[in-house]
Amino acid sequence: MSEVPISKILGGALLVSGTCIGAGMLALPVATAAGGFYPCAMLFIFCWVMMTASAFLMLEVSLWYQGETNLITMAKSSLGSFAEIIAWITYVLFLYALMTAYTAGAASIIGKGLKTIHLDESLGVWVTVGIFATIVYCGARSVDWANRLLMLGLIAAYVALVAKVIPNVSASMLSNGSPKYLWTTGPLLVTSFGFHLLIPSLKHYLGSNVKALRMAILWGSLIPLVVYLLWEVLVLGVIPVKGQQGLVAILYAEHTTGKQAVIELTQLLSHTLQSSHVHVLAGIFGLCAMLTSFIGVALGLFDFFADGFAIKKTIKGKFVLALLTFLPPVLMAIFYPRFITALHYAGFFAAILLVIFPALMVWWGRYRLKIEAPYRVKGEKPVVLVVLFFGLAVIILEILHRMNKLPTPFMEMHLFS
């Protein structure tokens, strides 16, 4: 097998990190604030290890097949037709949940902008979907150019925010919080490290070179970990956890009234630092993060429906595909505009699709079908079982969270004092 140039491995790593880093990171400091930075950091590292391990399991399965074989096909081949149906349904629900979150978040930011020019704030959803549905409708080339411009804005705004905010970080504020409030955050972290659906394309890009693929996955997933931890430091080190102007209050407001956490966070950052520049930078960063995630997921769902329903991309066909892709999440974003809650549901489906399925496919392929693979994840059965139990634990915790069986910070009113 020929050597892969370092530049190409770097390109693969950036594809992985670019898939991870997006709108989800805006929810992380709000959702994890009550746990305190240091317990959060340990949880982030643990989830990164688990998600990277499940990605390597997905890579092992992907290398059983020639070409770009997607997860649905892999599930059918290794686990049977019933698994294919579950994977198909979970895939659609996962992407719909992401689309709902990104539509609600982007629409809230655009809606605020419309309000400043005396237009109806509720038009934000239709402006967002109207512009970016048109881009997706026009095809992958249009999406590529739009994504490049948005990524430039995202990177520039993030670097400027770091430079502007980091001198104001208080080390003492990072110690606030209680780890018991982190039980509910697993699905968000699974979503934030969820790049696994990219692996078949990455395999094709790197010519099925195992060493190059492992390096791209490892370094590509490590970059988001560093970015997320730095973002947690910036937010938790500046904005208090408790109080009416605290991060828990933002979480409570979205949970009870639907106020978008992204808007509240950017306003609170600028208010705390008394800087209009921070407000603008945070707004640009938030909007670019939302839209890069939005168009990437939308294109994936658009193509998935085209393949799954054998719809040709004629004018009529693309119109039908656009309706299937955008109408359900738009309706959800209008009638239930909860950014963080939608990401929780996405994490629930991601735990099935990106954690449990790779573990089950590896177990069945290795130990029942006796597939001889060009790559085998080290650790044998214990590693597969640990990943499987991690995925099951995330699902169980999310169910308990929905049943109000886990501690949540806004249930204990002393956190507002």
Q: What is the pLDDT tens value at each position of the chain, 417 positions in all?
A: 568 788 888 888 887 887 788 777 878 888 898 898 999 999 999 999 999 999 999 999 999 988 767 888 888 888 989 999 999 999 999 989 988 888 887 777 777 767 666 566 667 778 778 887 788 778 767 777 887 788 888 889 889 988 888 888 888 888 878 889 999 999 999 999 988 888 888 888 888 889 999 999 999 999 999 999 999 999 899 888 887 778 888 887 777 665 666 667 777 777 777 777 887 888 888 788 878 778 778 877 887 888 778 888 888 888 888 888 888 888 888 887 677 888 889 999 999 999 999 999 999 999 988 888 788 999 889 999 999 999 999 999 999 998 988 888 766 545 444
Name, in order, each residue with C-beta under 8 angstroms of 316's C-beta and a sequence gap of 6 or more.
none
- Cα–Cα distances in Å, from 97 out to 93, 131, 164, 302, 378? 6, 20, 33, 15, 33
Sequence length of the chain is 417
On whether the CB atoms of residues 286 and 262 are closer than 8 A, the answer is yes
On whether the CB atoms of residues 279 and 112 are closer than 8 A, the answer is no
Whole-angstrom distance, CA of residue 78 vs CA of residue 84? 9
On whether the CB atoms of residues 309 and 88 are closer than 8 A, the answer is no
On whether the CB atoms of residues 105 and 286 are closer than 8 A, the answer is yes
- Return the closest-CA partner of residue 52 out of 189, 205, 194: 194
Could you identify the residue written with the tokens 């490290």? 193
- Return the closest-CA partner of residue 299 out of 144, 112, 93: 144
The structure's pTM equals 0.88
Whole-angstrom distance, CA of residue 50 vs CA of residue 347? 14
Whole-angstrom distance, CA of residue 230 vs CA of residue 343? 21
What domains are defined for the chain?
6-416 (1.20.1740.10)
